[in-house]
Structure 1
Amino acid sequence: MPHTDILSTIPASMRAIVLQEPNEQITLSELELPVPEVTGNELLIKVEYVGLNPVDAQFAKQGFCKWQYPHTLGLDAVGVVVKADKGVFPCVGARVMFHGNVGEQGVLSQYVKVPNFAVSVIPDEVKLSHAATLPCAGMSALVALDKLQISEGDSILIEAGGGAVGQFAIQFAKQRGATVFTTASKRNHKLVKQLGADMVFDYNDNKLVDKIRRELGPQGFDAVLDSIGGDTTIRNVELMRFCGRIACLNPLPKFEQELMYRRAPNIGIVSLGGAWLANSLCAQQRMSFMGNLLLENIVNNSLTIPDIIAVDFDAKSVSAALNKQLQGGFTGKQIVQIS
């Protein structure tokens, strides 16, 4: 599409959902803020949908060292490019998806700016609301499986298979030829089996470890995708083979040295935000490439997205949704339609 400057249709201000200061209740506010100015390789995006994630809720409670307040929340966005310098790709009119910079203002606003190299262009066949389910959860699943070096014949335990990261990870692990074990609430057992899980366990089962070992045998898992953290991570290292691989999405617990000597695990940390905080252009571009891969799988009907849970674009609704993120117990992806 040829470059078209439609700056005249862009308002001077916009609605945004902001955090005035970190708080346990995740009480948010609505503000009228200036529409961002873009220069160089930056794109101005009219946001259509925002995907909510547990990390959004965690930061709303605890704050983040790089933030100034009030801070606009949200990291996952899809929308339409409405302003780009001549020669910058993608150009005005393109539909794009991205996982934003955790160190800067978020995406729960009517307009945002983003570097052009960090976005993925959404094919016409993909609904914008569907694309909004992909960035954080889908990219986290891909990074984890790459760190775990999953290949044909590997056995992998994927924690919380009914969650968004778990659902994507199950499907991609099966694409790579792995035997997939997962944990999920009983109500989600049918879902994760439909996605490809070979064995499913109730994470509330008091005999969970015994049942896993009975099915797995004495060899232990080749790999574990741990999205829970804490004591669950310690338990999962116990379930791994010697020199097995574990990818962790949450902070590591304190390990006993005896366990480390006995299992000698290869531990990987999954951090999408680190791509921005480390100022790594290669890592930021890789998120664009992963976004392309996720979108291609949707077009090819090779990937099933989580059910969409609609959230209204107002402070009260987003606050309630973020509190629900931390409470858990729901299956699907919360998506805010920006109006």
Structure 2
Amino acid sequence: MSDTDILTQNTIPHTMRAIVLEKPNDQINLADIELPVPECSDNELLIKVEYVGLNPVDGHFAKSGFCQWQYPHILGLDAVGVVVKASKGIFPNVGERVMWHANVGGQGVLSEYTKVPNFAVSIVPQELNPAVAAVLPCAGMAALISLDKISITEGQTVFIEGGAGAVGQFAIQYAKQRGADVFATASKKNHKLVKQLGADVVFDYNDKKLCEKIRRELGPQGFDAVIDTVGGESTARNIELMRFCGKIACLNPLPCFEQDLMYRRAPNISVVSLGGAWLANSLCAQQRLSFMGNLLLEGATNGDIKAPTLTPVEFNANAVSNALNTQLAGGFTGKHVVKIGC
């Protein structure tokens, strides 16, 4: 093994525990199985996984499946772990703790070991809790991409639909850092949280007079930009609330728009696709995931960014299934994090 650095010849087993989806199903029934430890190519790192952050997208794909998956499929996209094997000259080095957002088209990270290209990871600072780092990638990166899409600047108004969700929580904080006036929706029980994160005005998304109250608060000009984490009918409503030629970043599939709305608002519509970095096979986009990871880790470490509240989940199929179903049922605030191994 002269071309490879490893911790110890005998520390890496041949098999590992993993949580898999044997086939898509509405109940999100998962299974605990043993699989071979992955084999890595030259630029890939073998990681001993420590923590996995669960996201609603994991649950959605568990129900519907994904066109590029082979089954049984290991679920999970966000993880933190320690590099245990890497080819000589490949950075990061063996022993480094790293964070990353995995390739949605490949096997996931709910396993004791996994592999990832070295250019897509970010090194976790020693002073940051690795469980916190594990919940940053998907939501935090989606928020950063959304803000870049809408090009929000100081003094502009941004409306964040779903302010208490993980993406919304990050988006509020980063929008305030950029000097924006932030408006958001949330359930009444989460208004205090959303305001503590920096939102200037919070509306109850269940309010039947929501649009009327927004216009009363904002005035006739409309929002400069919108981050729409919800999708569906709310997307058209949010475009109606924007100024002419305003910008909207959409994190869910677009509805069918009435042509009259498009003419009256002439919106600049952007689609946020974090997984697209992998699906488009764009090395530049994959490296950007690492850059965004560095930014998120820096913010969480120095206290500029507050991560959502963590809820621990055991590393077994039933516990992960229950957590994903809880997320999709709505009303859950925070992030589920799975501790892998001891």
Which bin holds the TM-score, normalised by the shorter protein?
over 0.9
* Secondary structure of residue in 1 paired with 2:323: helix
Q: Residue type of the partner of 1:290?
A: M
Tell me which residue corresponds to 1:165.
Answer: 167
Deviation at 1:133, TM superposition (A): 1.3
Q: Residue type of the partner of 1:166?
A: G
Deviation at 1:280, TM superposition (A): 0.1
Tell me which residue corresponds to 1:149.
Answer: 151
* Secondary structure of residue in 2 paired with 1:260: helix
Alignment of 1:211-250 (within 5 A): 211-250=213-252
Alignment of 1:2-41 (within 5 A): 3-41=5-43
Q: Is the alpha carbon distance of 1:7 and 1:105 closer, same or farther for their aligned partners in structure 2, counting shifts above 3 Å?
A: farther
**CA RMSD, Structure 1 to Structure 2 (Å):** 1.0
Give the Cα separation in 2 of the matches to 1:167 and 1:72: 28
Q: Residue type of the partner of 2:303?
A: N
Do 1:6 and 1:83's aligned partners in 2 also have CA atoms closer than 8 Å?
Answer: no
Give the Cα separation in 1 of the matches to 2:238 and 2:82: 42
* Secondary structure of residue in 1 paired with 2:20: strand
Of residues 121, 130, 137, the one that matches 1:128 is 130
Q: Residue type of the partner of 2:320?
A: V
Q: CA offsets per residue over residues 42-82 of structure 1, 9 Å max, x none?
A: 00000000001111001000000000111000000001001
Give the Cα separation in 1 of the matches to 2:52 and 2:257: 37
1:89 and 2:91 are equivalent in the alignment: yes
Q: Residue type of the partner of 1:99?
A: H
* Secondary structure of residue in 1 paired with 2:278: helix
Tell me which residue corresponds to 1:312.
Answer: 314
Q: Residue type of the partner of 1:221?
A: F
* Secondary structure of residue in 2 paired with 1:284: helix
Q: CA offsets per residue over residues 295-332 of structure 1, 9 Å max, x none?
A: 11112210111100111111101011111111110111
TM-score (normalizing by structure 2) = 0.98
TM-score (normalizing by structure 1) = 0.98
Deviation at 1:125, TM superposition (A): 1.1
Deviation at 1:8, TM superposition (A): 2.1
Give the Cα separation in 2 of the matches to 1:305 and 1:229: 23
Give the Cα separation in 1 of the matches to 2:301 and 2:35: 36
Do 1:5 and 1:84's aligned partners in 2 also have CA atoms closer than 8 Å?
Answer: no
Tell me which residue corresponds to 2:280.
Answer: 278
Give the Cα separation in 1 of the matches to 2:207 and 2:289: 37
More moved, 242-251 vs 295-304: 295-304
Q: Which structure 2 segments of 5+ residues have no match?
A: none
Q: Residue type of the partner of 1:33?
A: L
* Secondary structure of residue in 2 paired with 1:9: coil
Tell me which residue corresponds to 1:209.
Answer: 211
Tell me which residue corresponds to 1:111.
Answer: 113
* Secondary structure of residue in 2 paired with 1:255: coil
- Which 4+ residue blocks in structure 1 deviate beyond 4 angstroms? 2-5
Do 2:7 and 2:95's aligned partners in 1 also have CA atoms closer than 8 Å?
Answer: no
Tell me which residue corresponds to 2:325.
Answer: 323
Tell me which residue corresponds to 2:338.
Answer: 336
Give the Cα separation in 1 of the matches to 2:300 and 2:108: 26
Do 1:20 and 1:69's aligned partners in 2 also have CA atoms closer than 8 Å?
Answer: yes
* Secondary structure of residue in 2 paired with 1:107: coil
